[in-house]
């Protein structure tokens, strides 16, 4: 009985690089050709006795990421998806001491043919866009009907959106890029039926069939002796030990279970988690001997420390007028970008009020409604830190009425006007509150001015020295501090 559904893999030698006219309903796992020149180079040099030095220094490798969309209307912000996908790669390559980082901001390409491509259009896409000095990774709708593939001809990787995120596909394809073949090398296009003898397949498998006793491990299968024999070239589910639940039989009649932990196997997604030592050595050798232009001995930036934003700098406490819709937060050390989402819902499900990336620590949010609660979360990242996670979920309220051009009156403090022309003073009516000093902050949290004032019922603040924009006034008295926002226009 065949318990294992072959998911439509067209993987024969002859068929491999033929164009597929239509997009498969269900994606095959991997479309990388079995014959990888980088692997052949490694095996040839190993056979020739070239010393392949073991080295454990961390190799930093830049990746250039492209998001391909069908058309303008389908372009969406998928930075969180990209960062999660790269986090997975870095987690899988930790043991290999290989760290991937973003070469630069991910690029967006709009092209219907590239979005759902066959191998020819995929090659065109890669050759038109690849840059030197980084591993080029393309996220598309359908990479020639597969979850992903590495193209030796174009030396780049394509991955389906549906197979990215926290899935092993990225590490599998990067493994191919760095010279690794499948653990079942030679079985591509051949379906192994459990309980059948491996020797029955010797006429169709194009490598010697690897035996359990390891006697032919160098010239059979993937050529690595610390990866177990594997005959399964279709996707399969592992058991709780990450092994195949059924046994396979080698040419000597020895039974074994395939190892689903190996990233270069076809076990389904929660099983693969590791590369073997020999695989790691091959990948590191590939980088240091064949792709030295991709190797850096240090990252381009410092990592972001594992701290989270937990409060907004503005608004703080009081409702914000809906027509002065600005939020700001404290700078996160080493963060280069902030991915910001604003939602009406605590869950952030459904349409978002704002979904954007900024290099600033402040944002203007148009279209807020009065008398509503809004939730904010912020994901700081830079070229090397992808996995710092979301900030705490923060919230603010909008006031029932707008107040930009009217007096803002809270806690006995009145500010007038709150939207002022540059050069005109802002008046602060303090009433009985004895304000002793005022700090003016830019929206980026930087102190622009700090002055001690003589307590008075009306304080006058000149604005001549300030650039147009929004500022936060922090008014201090003995009991504490009160914040107000002021707009300055030209």
CB of 143 to Zn ion, least distance (A): 12
Nearer to Zn ion, 32 or 391 (CB): 32
Residue 174 as a binder of Zn ion (CB under 5 A): the answer is: no
Specify the stretch interacting with Zn ion by CB under 5 A; choose among 28-36, 132-140, 190-198, 342-350. Answer: 28-36
Specify the stretch interacting with Zn ion by CB under 5 A; choose among 31-39, 86-94, 296-304, 405-413. Answer: 31-39
CB of 34 to Zn ion, least distance (A): 9
CB of 146 to Zn ion, least distance (A): 9
What is the b/e burial string over 243-266, where b = at least 16 CB atoms within 10 angstroms of the residue's CB? Answer: bbebebbbbeeeebbbbbbbbbbb
CB of 243 to Zn ion, least distance (A): 20
Could you say which of 9, 16, 27, 30 contacts Zn ion (CB under 5 A)? 30
Residue 144 as a binder of Zn ion (CB under 5 A): the answer is: no
For residue 161, what are the contacts with CB-CB under 8 A and spacing of at least 6? 78, 81, 139, 140, 141
Residue 160 as a binder of Zn ion (CB under 5 A): the answer is: no
CB of 115 to Zn ion, least distance (A): 22
Nearer to Zn ion, 32 or 418 (CB): 32
CB of 272 to Zn ion, least distance (A): 11
CB of 27 to Zn ion, least distance (A): 13
Residue 98 as a binder of Zn ion (CB under 5 A): the answer is: no
CA–chain centroid gap for 81, Å, is 5
Q: Which residue has the tokens 């591993």?
A: 135
Residue 32 as a binder of Zn ion (CB under 5 A): the answer is: yes
Nearer to Zn ion, 39 or 69 (CB): 39
Residue 382 as a binder of Zn ion (CB under 5 A): the answer is: no
Nearer to Zn ion, 182 or 484 (CB): 182
- Measured N-to-C along each axis, helices 277-285 and 37-47 cross at an angle, to the nearest 10 degrees, of 100
Q: How many residues bind Zn ion (CB under 5 A)?
A: 2
Residue 183 as a binder of Zn ion (CB under 5 A): the answer is: no
Residue 61 as a binder of Zn ion (CB under 5 A): the answer is: no
Nearer to Zn ion, 32 or 85 (CB): 32
Nearer to Zn ion, 169 or 463 (CB): 169
Specify the stretch interacting with Zn ion by CB under 5 A; choose among 32-40, 61-69, 244-252, 280-288. Answer: 32-40
Name the token pair of 101: 């980082």
Nearer to Zn ion, 32 or 341 (CB): 32
CB of 32 to Zn ion, least distance (A): 4
Nearer to Zn ion, 146 or 385 (CB): 146
Specify the stretch interacting with Zn ion by CB under 5 A; choose among 27-35, 48-56, 151-159, 161-169. Answer: 27-35
Side by side, the strands of the sheet bearing 408-410 are 408-410, 413-416, 426-429, 458-461
Residue 185 as a binder of Zn ion (CB under 5 A): the answer is: no
Name the token pair of 184: 């079942």
Residue 16 as a binder of Zn ion (CB under 5 A): the answer is: no
| Bridge partners, residue 160, by sequence | 140
CB of 182 to Zn ion, least distance (A): 5
Distance of alpha carbon 422 from alpha carbon 414, whole angstroms? 19
Residue 232 as a binder of Zn ion (CB under 5 A): the answer is: no
CB of 176 to Zn ion, least distance (A): 5
Nearer to Zn ion, 180 or 485 (CB): 180
Closest chain position to Zn ion (CB): 30
What's the chain look like in SS3?
CCCCCCCCCCCCCCCCCCCCCCCCCCCEEECCCCCCHHHHHHHHHHHCCCCCCCCCCCEEEEEEEEEEECCHHHCCCCHHHHHHHHHHHHHHCCCCCEEEEECCCCEEEECHHHHEECHHHHHHHHHHHCCCCCEEEEEECEECCEEEEEECCCCEEEEEHHHCCCCCHHHHHHHHHCCCCCCCCCCCCCCCCCCCEHHHHCCCCCCCCCCCCCCCCCCCCCCCCCCCCCCCCCCECECCCCEECCCEECCCCCEECCECCECCCCECCCCCCECCHHHHHHHHHHHHHHCHHHCECCCCCCCCCCCCCCCCCECCCCCECCCCCEEECCCCCCCCEEEEEEECCCCCCCCCCEEEEECCCEEECCCCCCCCEEEEEEEEECCCCCCCCCCCCEEEEECCCCCCCCCEEECCEEEECCEEECCCCEEEECCCCCCCEEEEEECCCCEEEEEECCCCCEEEECCCCCCCEEEEEEEEECCEEEEEEEEEEC
CB of 333 to Zn ion, least distance (A): 39
Specify the stretch interacting with Zn ion by CB under 5 A; choose among 14-22, 26-34, 109-117, 358-366. Answer: 26-34
Residue 142 as a binder of Zn ion (CB under 5 A): the answer is: no
Nearer to Zn ion, 180 or 294 (CB): 180
Residue 67 as a binder of Zn ion (CB under 5 A): the answer is: no
Specify the stretch interacting with Zn ion by CB under 5 A; choose among 12-20, 22-30, 89-97, 225-233. Answer: 22-30
CB of 20 to Zn ion, least distance (A): 17
Binding site for Zn ion (CB under 5 A): 30, 32
């Amino acid at each position: 009985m065949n318990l294992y559904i072959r998911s439509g893999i067209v993987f024969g030698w002859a068929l491999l690089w033929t164009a597929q006219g239509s997009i498969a309903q269900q994606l095959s796992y991997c479309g990388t050709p079995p014959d990888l020149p980088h692997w052949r180079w490694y095996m040839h040099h190993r056979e020739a006795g070239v010393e392949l030095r073991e080295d454990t220094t961390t190799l930093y490798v830049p990746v250039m990421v492209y998001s391909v969309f069908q058309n303008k209307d389908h372009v969406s912000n998928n930075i969180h998806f990209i960062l999660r996908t790269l986090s997975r790669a870095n987690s899988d390559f930790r043991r290999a001491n290989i760290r991937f980082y973003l070469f630069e901001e991910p690029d967006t390409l709009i092209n219907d043919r590239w979005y759902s491509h066959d191998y020819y259009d995929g090659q065109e896409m890669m050759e038109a866009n690849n840059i030197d000095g980084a591993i080029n990774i393309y996220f598309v709708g359908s990479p020639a009907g597969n979850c992903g593939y590495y193209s030796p001809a174009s030396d780049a990787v394509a991955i389906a959106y549906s197979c990215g995120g926290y899935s092993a596909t990225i590490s599998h394809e990067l493994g191919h890029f760095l010279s690794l073949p499948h653990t079942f090398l030679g079985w591509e296009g051949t379906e192994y039926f459990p309980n059948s003898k491996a020797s029955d397949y010797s006429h169709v498998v194009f490598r010697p069939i690897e035996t359990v006793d390891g006697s032919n491990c160098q010239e059979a299968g993937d050529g690595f002796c610390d990866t177990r024999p594997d005959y399964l070239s279709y996707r399969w589910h592992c058991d709780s030990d990450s092994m195949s639940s059924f046994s396979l039989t080698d040419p000597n009649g020895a039974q074994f279970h395939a190892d689903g932990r190996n990233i270069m196997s076809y076990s389904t997604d929660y099983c693969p988690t590791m590369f073997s030592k020999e695989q790691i050595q091959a990948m590191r050798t590939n980088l240091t001997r064949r792709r030295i232009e991709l190797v850096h001995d240090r990252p381009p930036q410092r990592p972001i420390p594992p701290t989270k934003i937990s409060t907004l700098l503005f608004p703080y406490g009081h409702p914000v007028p809906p027509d002065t819709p600005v939020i700001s937060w404290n700078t996160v050390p080493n963060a280069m970008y902030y991915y910001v989402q604003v939602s009406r819902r605590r869950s952030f499900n459904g349409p978002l009020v704002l979904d954007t990336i900024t290099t600033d620590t402040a944002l203007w949010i148009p279209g807020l409604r009065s008398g509503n609660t809004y939730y904010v979360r912020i994901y700081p990242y830079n070229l090397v830190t992808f996995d710092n996670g979301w900030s705490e979920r923060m919230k603010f309220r909008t006031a029932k009425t707008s107040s930009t051009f009217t007096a803002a009156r809270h806690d006995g403090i009145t500010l007038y006007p709150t939207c002022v022309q540059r050069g005109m003073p802002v008046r602060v009516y303090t009433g009985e509150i004895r304000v002793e000093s005022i700090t003016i902050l830019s929206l980026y949290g930087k102190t622009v001015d700090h002055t001690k004032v003589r307590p008075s019922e009306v304080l006058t603040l000149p604005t001549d020295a300030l650039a147009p924009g929004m500022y936060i006034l922090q008014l201090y008295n003995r009991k504490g501090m009160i914040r107000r926002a002021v707009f300055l226009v030209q």
